[in-house]
Structures are given as structure tokens and as C-alpha cells.
A = this chain, B = another copy of it.
Amino acid sequence: LSHAQRQSLADALTRRLGWSRQIVRDPPRVEELELPVPRIEPPATLASLCSSEPRDRAAHTYGKSFRDVVRAMRGELNDPPDLVARPRDEADVGALLDWCSSASVAAVPYGGGSSVVGGVSCPVGPGLAGALSIDLGRLDQVLEVDPGSRAARVQAGVLGPSLEDQLRPRGLTLRHFPQSFEHSTVGGWLATRSGGHFATGPTHIDDFVESLRMCSPAGVLETRRLPSSGAGPAPDRLLLGSEGILGVITEAWLRLQDRPCFRSSASVRFADWDHAVSATREVVQAGLAPSNCRLLDRTEAAMSAGGDGIADLLLLGFESADHPVDRPMARALEICRDRGGSLPEPTTSGSSGVDVSVAARSTPTESSSGTTPGDGRSADPAATWRRAFLRAPYVRDALATASVIVETFESACTWSAFPGFHRAVTDAVHRALVEVCGTGIVTCRFTHVYPDGVAPYLSVLAPGRPGSEVSQWDEIKAAASEAIVDHGGTITHHHAVGRVHRPWYDRQRPDLFAGALRAAKASLDPAGILNPGVLIDPR
């Protein structure tokens, strides 16, 4: 967006929320950046893979969290990688890790760079000669498709849209759509246990893994391609979520699906939040497996789904590639009605309807002028929501240039813990907002639902002070994180731990598991060069 567009976006927001005006600033140009001189040089054999160009180093300094975006917009790039490597294949990855091990260079795997938890930023420390960002972008191919088993062998550096483009001619889809989809990779999804767009069923990347291949300093590890196995602790599960500390994931066999052609969607209004939560719980406990089951509180509904601010909104969707889904939708709506929900007519489609995979690939412009016409306040809250969902990261970046604090955090807890969790976390955030920013709003929605619990996702909007946005957000985030861990939540349901969540992850994770993980890491990465500071401290 242009400067003027960003200013008018910020003005629209501050007017709506009754805040003072926030002034947008412009990000620096690459030529203006002053980066520290690289501390290391690659050996001659690896020089052709490595770049020390300011644009490359700047682009690999941060992920995409609010604190990353603000610092980048300000030109604060104090700890860039000394070098950015772009391996062509697994052998290159191995050679880079060998060099890092022998030269005490931190090796930071980099997929699409969409980490919101500091997972791709480069550590500094006394034991390290420098930091190498290993960008997997050249490992971008679907290598093999097994149509009978509906599985594909995929390289780690494939971005979401490219993966779906390569699968489409085979009539298959992965159907894993994290919000970062456009800018994140298969390897990143696997390393961070990313969560997909769908509320239930196969949606987490973990669900799709048949086997993994990882290049570690100790060598290459490949698990057997199996639909299921009971042979010892699952090897894949040690690598999933290892966030680059055990090795660089280079390939995976992933389970695919047929493209859905039967769809039904509906949105239900609730005057009472507790009833809405109960209805949501009952829908999932009934075993109905909705693809969408996104409860938005009334503020979130008003901000993102054209809501009127007096009703909470449950967005429901069912999809199948094989059979009509009107029956489960009817049963879900019956449950909602029994809990006091106001029902609409569900929108059901046979083989027509919006293909979510296409929608998720659309640019914000395309989707806002897309299949469901309207001004973002159309009668279909689900369509409005989808457009807002796809636009959100772009809006966030634009508002960040006006010092507006726009960030989210997420967790999961049991249904029985949820009421106390929700109260404690929103109270803590409200208190912090008043204290730190004078005002602000926090909204809640559910991203994923389970028979035994729920994944709440909270969004924060507040007027930041130019120059203090990062420390302001850090205070709000710390208050939220304390409340999450104190009230039965996980510090992350699908954003990963990285460096940002470490203090709370350290409290949540059993110490003896940390010891076991540290021991496992020492066996795979004896020099402790892989993504130091993420998840555990190597020694």
C-alpha cells in the first residue's frame, strides 16, 4: 500500500475506535540500511552458495511477527545473518552443516521466513563465530506422486502455492492452509508443527506426514514411509516441531486428499457467549467433524465478519470430495438452535462453490473482489470473514507503520479450563493495554476445536507510541503469556516456540523432557550449532 493508503487505513481504524490519530512512517530503502560487517567468510567450496549482499542479509534477519515488522520498518537490523546460503540439494545442506560445525557458526534453517516467534532470527553469543541463514528456497519440487496411496514426496523449500500448483494437475491437494500459506514452506510447516485452516480432521501438518528426511550434522535420517506404525516411539514425532535444532528437514512424504466438491456453510448468531461455547463444544463432541467451526466473539465478529457487535458468531462449514454434507450441517444447526443460536439458511453447494484452496491462494485484492461480491460487509459473514482472514497480515503490516499495535497470540486448553482461561487471559491483556497503551481492544476466536478442548486465538489492537511499539507489545505479550501458562493453556498451539516463547515454554515443558531432548540434540548436533536458543539451550 502507498503511504497515503496506509494513512487512510490507520485513520479509518482510529476514528472507528475513538483513538487519537496515528501517523504513518515509511520503511527505509535497502541502500539506507547500515548492517554490521559479516564476521565470517565461507570456504571456497561453499562460496557459490553463499551471499553477503545487504538485501539478502536484511531479508533473512527477521520473521514476520509484529516486533519483527516494526523493527524492520524502522531499519533496526542489528543481528542479521553474516551470510545467507541457498543450497541446491541435500548434499549442499550437509556440506554447509559440516562447515558450521567445524567453524562454530550458528546454522539457522530458513523456509519462507514467516515465523512469528523469532524462529529464524540469528543468535549472538560468546561461543559463536557468526551466523549462517540456510534458505531452502531452491529445494522447491514435488519429486514424486503416488496416486493410489494419495501421497507425494515433496522437497522442504516448496512454498504453499507452488505445492498446490504442482499437485493440481494430478487432481490432488494437501489442503494444509495455515494463514502464512503464501509465504511459508513445507519444511517450515514440519519444523514448527503448523496448524491448517480447518477446524477439525486432518488439519495440522503432523496429520499429513508419512515420512520425513532430515539432514543433521551427524548425517541423514530418513523414516520409513508408513500409514501408521507401532514400532517404538514415533521417529517422525521427534522431528516434527524440532524447529531446526536437530537438523534441516529436506524432504517429506505427505498424505494428500481429493479436492472437495460438496460444501455447506452457515453462520449462527448467539446472544450469549457461554451458550455459544457450549454449542461449539457439542458440535465437535457429536463427531460431526466440521471443516470450519470458528466461533468469533462479538468484537471479533464486528471487526472481521461484518457483525453488529451484539452477537457472537459461529461460522460452520462442512466439505467432502465424496458425498453431500447437508446432513451433518443440519445436525450441527440443530445443536446450535438447542443452545439458543439464531439460525440462517445454510448455503450448500454440489460441485460448485468456492474452492478454499483457490481462495487461500488469492491475493487480498482478488479475494475482496472475488466469488462473493460485496463491500466487505456482505450478507455472508463467512465470506466476509475469509476476506478479512486473508487480508489480516497485510493490514497488520500497514498499520504497524502507523505505530498501531496489531498482533495475535494463540493457545489451547481443555473445555473445562476454557472459561477460567478466557477470563484470566483477557483480563490480563486488558489491564496491560490500559497500563501500557492507555486503551486497546482484545478479541477472541476459536481456530481449532477438539472433543476435549479448544484452541483460542486472541487479537490485540492498541495505539502504540512511535519508537516504543516493540517494548509495549512485549509487555502485553508477557502478561498474556503468564496468564496462559497459569490457567491450563499451552504457550503455543500452532505458532511454535522459537525464541519469543522460550520463558513460558520452559515452564510448561517437563524438565526431564528438556533433558531428554537436549541429549537427543547432542547426538545429532554434537557441536550445538543448529538454531541455538530455540526450544532448549544446547548445553
B150 touches A221 (CB 8 A): no
What are the interface flags for A406-420 relative to B under an 8 Å C-beta threshold, 1 for contact and 0 otherwise?
A: 000000111111000
Could you say which residues of chain B place their CB within 8 Å of the CB of A195? Answer: 230
B227 touches A454 (CB 8 A): yes
CA distance A281 to B227 in the complex (A): 13
User: At the interface, yes or no: A47 with Cβ under 8 Å from chain B?
Assistant: no
B231 touches A505 (CB 8 A): yes
Could you say which residues of chain B place their CB within 8 Å of the CB of A288? Answer: 322-323
B491 touches A226 (CB 8 A): no
CA distance A204 to B220 in the complex (A): 30
A227 touches B452 (CB 8 A): yes
What are the interface flags for A235-260 relative to B under an 8 Å C-beta threshold, 1 for contact and 0 otherwise?
A: 10111111100100000000101100
User: At the interface, yes or no: A267 with Cβ under 8 Å from chain B?
Assistant: no
A229 touches B490 (CB 8 A): yes
User: At the interface, yes or no: A61 with Cβ under 8 Å from chain B?
Assistant: no
User: At the interface, yes or no: A515 with Cβ under 8 Å from chain B?
Assistant: yes
User: At the interface, yes or no: A523 with Cβ under 8 Å from chain B?
Assistant: yes
Could you say which residues of chain B place their CB within 8 Å of the CB of A233? Answer: 237-242, 517
Which of B146, B228, B516, B520 touches A450 (beta carbons < 8 Å)?
B228
CA distance A238 to B455 in the complex (A): 23
**Interface-centre pick from A227, A234, A510 (highest chain B CB count, 10 A):** A227
Could you say which residues of chain B place their CB within 8 Å of the CB of A370? Answer: none
A451-B257, A520-B519, A523-B516 known; A231 and B490 CB under 8 Å? yes
Could you say which residues of chain B place their CB within 8 Å of the CB of A286? Answer: 321-323
Which of B218, B228, B285, B320 touches A493 (beta carbons < 8 Å)?
B228
What are the interface flags for A280-312 relative to B under an 8 Å C-beta threshold, 1 for contact and 0 otherwise?
A: 010001111100000000000000000000000
CA distance A355 to B428 in the complex (A): 48
B524 touches A229 (CB 8 A): no
User: At the interface, yes or no: A65 with Cβ under 8 Å from chain B?
Assistant: no
Which of B148, B246, B258, B508 touches A224 (beta carbons < 8 Å)?
B508
A492 touches B229 (CB 8 A): yes
A512 touches B497 (CB 8 A): no
Could you say which residues of chain B place their CB within 8 Å of the CB of A438? Answer: none
Which of B241, B327, B523 touches A519 (beta carbons < 8 Å)?
B523
Could you say which residues of chain B place their CB within 8 Å of the CB of A170? Answer: none
B230 touches A192 (CB 8 A): yes
B494 touches A230 (CB 8 A): yes
What are the interface flags for A60-91 relative to B under an 8 Å C-beta threshold, 1 for contact and 0 otherwise?
A: 00000000000000000000000000000000
User: At the interface, yes or no: A35 with Cβ under 8 Å from chain B?
Assistant: no
User: At the interface, yes or no: A219 with Cβ under 8 Å from chain B?
Assistant: yes
Could you say which residues of chain B place their CB within 8 Å of the CB of A229? Answer: 412, 490, 492-493
B501 touches A231 (CB 8 A): yes
CA distance A416 to B253 in the complex (A): 14
Closest residue of B by beta carbon distance from A522: B519
User: At the interface, yes or no: A225 with Cβ under 8 Å from chain B?
Assistant: yes
A231 touches B492 (CB 8 A): yes
Closest residue of B by beta carbon distance from A223: B510
B228 touches A204 (CB 8 A): yes
CA distance A221 to B511 in the complex (A): 8
Could you say which residues of chain B place their CB within 8 Å of the CB of A257? Answer: 451
A481-521 residues with Cβ-Cβ distance < 8 A to B are 488-497, 501, 505, 508-513, 515-520
Which of B151, B235, B246, B512 touches A524 (beta carbons < 8 Å)?
B512
Could you say which residues of chain B place their CB within 8 Å of the CB of A237? Answer: 233-234, 237-238
Closest residue of B by beta carbon distance from A323: B331
B505 touches A232 (CB 8 A): yes
Q: How far is the CB of A327 from chain B (nearest CB, A)?
A: 6
CA distance A473 to B534 in the complex (A): 50
User: At the interface, yes or no: A531 with Cβ under 8 Å from chain B?
Assistant: no
Can you pick out 8 interface pairs between chain A and chain B where the beta carbons lie within 8 Å of each other? A226-B489, A227-B412, A230-B490, A231-B491, A231-B505, A233-B517, A257-B451, A322-B331
The 3 A-B residue pairs with the shortest CB-CB distance in the complex, in nearest-first order:
A227-B453, A237-B237, A519-B519
The chain A residues found within 8 Å of chain B, CB to CB, are 146, 148-151, 192-195, 204, 210, 216, 218-235, 237-243, 246, 255, 257-258, 281, 285-289, 320-323, 327-328, 331, 412-417, 448, 450-455, 488-497, 501, 505, 508-513, 515-520, 522-524, 535
